[in-house]
Amino acid sequence: MPPRPARGSDGIVVTQVRSAIGTKPKHRATLRALGLRRVGQSNVLADRPEIRGMLARVSHLVKVTESSPRRRAGAAAKGTSTDKADA
């Protein structure tokens, strides 16, 4: 299970989209430090400056998606209201 960001803080979902084969050793090490081992694997990380710097180094290998706990909770609340008796 991927580590969760601190409670109340925003997180980012990082997904590896390209292979690390043929890249520089520092790029491969950065992917490992981000918790990524293979193409298609995702990890939820805290949105901190040091993580953003690591993502800048391997931006050509990963896809970054913002993930806010407030945004996810709001989307779930909208989807659960399926009262057809009012209609």
C-alpha distance from residue 73 to each of 6, 15, 76, 78 (Å)? 16, 22, 5, 9
Question: How many separate domains does the chain show?
Answer: 1
**pTM as predicted:** 0.68
Q: Which range marks the domain in which residue 53 is found?
A: 11-70
Residue 82 lies in a domain: no
For residue 23, what pLDDT band results from cuts at 50, 70 and 90? very high
Residue 24 identity: K
Task: Look up residue 80 and give its two tokens.
Answer: 């659960």
Residue 45 lies in a domain: yes
> Which has more confidence, 62 or 74?
62
Say if 2 falls within a structural domain. Answer: no
Examine residue 23 and state whether it is found in any structural domain, yes or no: yes
Percent of the chain with pLDDT over 90: 64
Q: CA 11 to CA 9: how far, in whole Å?
A: 6
Q: What are phi and psi of 50, to 5 degrees?
A: -70, -35
Instruction: Return d(Cα 40, Cα 18) in angstroms, integer.
Output: 8
What's residue 10's pLDDT?
83
Q: What is the CATH classification number for the domain harbouring 66? A: 3.30.1390.20
